[in-house]
């Protein structure tokens, strides 16, 4: 029962205590928040711009209630699907887009873009070093049925320099006659390198196109949509690829992915997704369109909430002495916050804290396990309404040194804040952090 004699702040403190967050942990978090007002205001301005961009795209294509109903069977003449792909093309300023619930995840969307636009004898180049773990099987770095390597498509990479910058001379030497495509991963994945800004991506694309104008530049945009006022497609990317259970789905979309880019690249991807000769003309949308449209509409504000949560996490753990990437005051180019926790016990405790803050499966204890596509065991916290949705509050990390956790998501900032405080509470209870003295205990 609510005690109406208590102040709002007292009632809020009691509400956090009911969730297992101590007064000391809450006070430490509030002290961090006091210094983030200006950063949060900047994020709100970006979200406002992107909200207007999405709204304009929907209005320009005269989206109506009829577009929210899907199709069955072959999906011929699906006006909602056709208009949706025009909306995505408008939002990303591209010639065309492929937006389908049949694309199962970000890795699937990337594999689709790669396999459809490369042919035997072609070469794929990564000028930003090692790709995300699950893409290694797609490429054939780790042998897998159906990989690029099985189709005699070669792969090379140029690692970033120790300071995270591009190895311009290495890239110059790596681009060859058979280099058909470059793949640029915007986010860090399970690495400690900085996330790339759209400005850096544009500079890289311009350099590569100057070396070989007909090269196809693909950008893995996962976790980066709507973080800035520009997207990779605004700075020269031929294909921008992502997942609908991340930023652009706004937390509502149950499954799907997108590729936005040039018309020839999208046509090839559609033929690969369905069948030669069928392309974009088929693909039933069932009851998915309403959530995809509404998720896109909400995406700018949901992404802003997740971004605020990442900045809050960075400042919390940086203040305690943990290594964080990016730092608490550094610019943000995706929603992921990496924290190097140093030990497997601390990594597990962090993820268990995030899980205990979830609306779904809060009673479940995350444990390390083998996961498809990953070399090391991975621990994942994801009590989400949509299974695996990493725009919702989640955290995961490979069980290997430096035992870094990758935190992301939060449909609201309040939920992101609660998750971070619960992760800190777990570390405090295990004696791995001290919020009174403001330090971690090694």
String of DSSP letters for 59-85 = HHTT--GGGG----TT-TT-HHHHHHH
Q: Are residues 308 and 363 in the same domain?
A: yes
Evaluate whether residue 364 is within a structural domain. Answer: yes
Averaged over 420-429, what is the pLDDT?
97
Q: What count of Cα atoms within 13 Å lies in the side-chain half-sphere of residue 30? A: 11
Q: For residue 265, what are the contacts with CB-CB under 8 A and spacing of at least 6?
A: 113, 116, 117, 216, 238, 239, 259
Closest CA to 132 of 101, 116, 161, 109: 109
Would you place residue 442 in the very low, low, confident or very high pLDDT band (cuts 50, 70, 90)? very low
Q: Are residues 187 and 220 in the same domain?
A: yes
Q: Are residues 273 and 368 in the same domain?
A: no
Q: What is the DSSP letter of 369?
A: B
Domain boundary among 290, 317, 346: 290
Omega before 326 within 30 of 0, i.e. cis: yes
User: Do residues 434 and 428 touch, judged by C-beta distance below 8 A?
Assistant: yes
Evaluate whether residue 63 is within a structural domain. Answer: no
Phi and psi based region of residue 247 (left: phi greater than 0; alpha: psi -120 to 50; beta: remaining): alpha
Long-range contact set of residues 49-56: C-beta below 8 Å, sequence gap at least 24: 49/229, 50/226, 50/229, 50/299, 50/300, 50/303, 51/300, 51/301, 53/91, 53/300, 54/91, 54/296, 54/297, 54/299, 54/300, 55/297, 56/90
Show the domain range for 168: 72-290
Evaluate whether residue 1 is within a structural domain. Answer: no
Q: Are residues 313 and 215 in the same domain?
A: no
Q: How far apart are CA 326 and CA 318, in angstroms?
A: 10
pLDDT at residue 329 tops 70: yes
Q: Are residues 140 and 265 in the same domain?
A: yes
Q: The CATH number of the domain where 339 resides is what?
A: 3.90.1150.60
Q: How far apart are CA 254 and CA 244, in angstroms?
A: 8
Q: Are residues 284 and 316 in the same domain?
A: no
Averaged over 394-422, what is the pLDDT?
96
If one counts the domains in the chain, the total is 2
Averaged over 253-272, what is the pLDDT?
98
Q: The CATH number of the domain where 169 resides is what?
A: 3.40.640.10
Question: Collapsing DSSP states into helix, strand and coil, what is residue 155?
Answer: strand
Q: Are residues 272 and 302 in the same domain?
A: no
Domain boundary among 290, 316, 349: 290
User: Do residues 1 and 14 touch, judged by C-beta distance below 8 A?
Assistant: no
Averaged over 193-202, what is the pLDDT?
95
The mean pLDDT of the chain is: 95
Widest Cα–Cα separation across the chain = 76
pLDDT in tens, 125-184: 999 999 988 899 999 999 999 999 999 999 999 999 999 999 999 999 999 999 999 999
pLDDT at residue 440 tops 80: no
Q: Are residues 307 and 227 in the same domain?
A: no
pLDDT at residue 434 tops 60: yes
Q: How far apart are CA 25 and CA 363, in angstroms?
A: 21
Would you place residue 3 in the very low, low, confident or very high pLDDT band (cuts 50, 70, 90)? low
pLDDT of residue 259: 98
Element (H, E) at 324: strand 323-325
Q: For residue 253, what are the contacts with CB-CB under 8 A and spacing of at least 6?
A: 101, 244, 245, 288, 291, 292, 295, 386
Evaluate whether residue 115 is within a structural domain. Answer: yes
Beta strand segments in 56-201, E: 96-100, 123-126, 154-157, 179-185
pLDDT in tens, 295-305: 999 999 999 99
Tokens encoding 104? 């199962």
Evaluate whether residue 57 is within a structural domain. Answer: no
Evaluate whether residue 66 is within a structural domain. Answer: no
pLDDT of residue 191: 79
pLDDT in tens, 102-122: 999 999 999 999 999 999 999
Q: Are residues 376 and 411 in the same domain?
A: yes
Evaluate whether residue 195 is within a structural domain. Answer: yes
Q: How far apart are CA 189 and CA 222, in angstroms?
A: 10
Q: Are residues 141 and 278 in the same domain?
A: yes
Q: For residue 21, what are the contacts with CB-CB under 8 A and spacing of at least 6?
A: 418, 421, 422, 425
Q: How far apart are CA 95 and CA 339, in angstroms?
A: 39
pLDDT of residue 427: 96
Would you place residue 2 in the very low, low, confident or very high pLDDT band (cuts 50, 70, 90)? low
Share of the chain above pLDDT 70, in %: 98
Q: Pick the residue with more confidence: 357 or 372?
A: 357
Evaluate whether residue 24 is within a structural domain. Answer: yes
pLDDT at residue 73 tops 80: yes
Angle between helices 413-429 and 289-319 (to 10 degrees): 40
Q: Count the Cβ atoms, other than its own, within 10 Å of residue 89.
A: 23
Domain boundary among 264, 290, 316: 290
pLDDT at residue 279 tops 50: yes
Q: Are residues 230 and 87 in the same domain?
A: yes
Q: Are residues 247 and 104 in the same domain?
A: yes
pLDDT in tens, 8-50: 889 999 999 999 999 999 999 999 999 999 999 999 999 999 9
Would you place residue 439 in the very low, low, confident or very high pLDDT band (cuts 50, 70, 90)? low
Q: For residue 339, what are the contacts with CB-CB under 8 A and spacing of at least 6?
A: 313, 314, 317, 322, 323, 324, 350, 404, 405, 407
């Amino acid at each position: 029962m609510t005690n109406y004699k208590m102040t709002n702040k007292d009632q809020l403190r009691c509400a956090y205590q009911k969730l297992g967050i101590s007064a000391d942990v809450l006070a430490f978090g509030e002290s961090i928040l006091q210094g983030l007002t200006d950063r949060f205001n900047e994020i709100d301005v970006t979200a406002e711009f992107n909200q207007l961009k999405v709204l304009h795209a929907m209005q320009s294509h005269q989206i109506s209630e009829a577009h929210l109903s899907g199709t069955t069977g072959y999906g011929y003449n699906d006006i909602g699907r056709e208009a949706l792909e025009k909306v995505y093309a408008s939002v990303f300023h591209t010639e065309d887009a492929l937006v389908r619930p049949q694309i199962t995840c970000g890795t699937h969307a990337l594999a689709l873009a790669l396999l459809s636009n490369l042919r035997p004898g072609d070469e794929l180049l990564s000028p930003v070093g090692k790709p995300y773990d699950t893409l290694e099987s797609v490429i054939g770095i780790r042998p897998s049925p159906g990989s690029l390597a099985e189709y005699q498509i070669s792969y090379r990479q140029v690692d970033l320099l120790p300071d995270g910058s591009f190895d311009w001379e290495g890239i110059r030497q790596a681009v060859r006659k058979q280099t058909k495509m470059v793949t640029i991963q915007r986010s860090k994945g399970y690495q400690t390198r900085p996330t790339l800004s759209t400005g850096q991506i544009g500079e890289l694309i311009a350099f590569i196109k100057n070396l070989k104008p007909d090269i196809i530049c693909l950008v893995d945009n996962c976790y980066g949509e709507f973080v800035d006022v520009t997207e990779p497609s605004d700075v020269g990317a031929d294909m921008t690829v992502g997942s609908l259970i991340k930023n652009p789905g706004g937390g509502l979309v149950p499954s799907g992915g997108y590729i936005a880019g040039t018309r020839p690249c999208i046509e090839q991807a559609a033929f690969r997704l369905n069948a030669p000769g069928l392309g974009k003309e088929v693909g039933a949308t069932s009851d998915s369109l309403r959530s995809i449209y509404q998720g896109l509409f909400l995406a700018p504000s949901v992404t802003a909430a997740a971004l605020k949560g990442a900045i809050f996490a960075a400042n919390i753990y940086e203040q305690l002495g943990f290594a964080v990437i990016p730092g608490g005051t550094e610019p943000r180019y995706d929603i992921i916050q990496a924290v190097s926790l140093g030990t497997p016990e601390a990594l597990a405790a962090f993820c268990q804290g995030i899980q205990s803050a979830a609306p779904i499966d809060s009673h479940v204890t995350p444990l390390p396990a083998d996961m498809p596509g990953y070399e090391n065991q991975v621990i994942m916290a994801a009590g989400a309404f949509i299974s695996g949705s990493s725009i919702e509050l989640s955290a995961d990390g490979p069980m290997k040194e430096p035992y870094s956790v990758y935190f992301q998501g939060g449909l609201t900032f309040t939920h992101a804040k609660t998750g971070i405080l619960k992760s800190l509470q777990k570390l405090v209870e295990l004696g791995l952090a001290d919020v009174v003295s403001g330090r971690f205990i090694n």
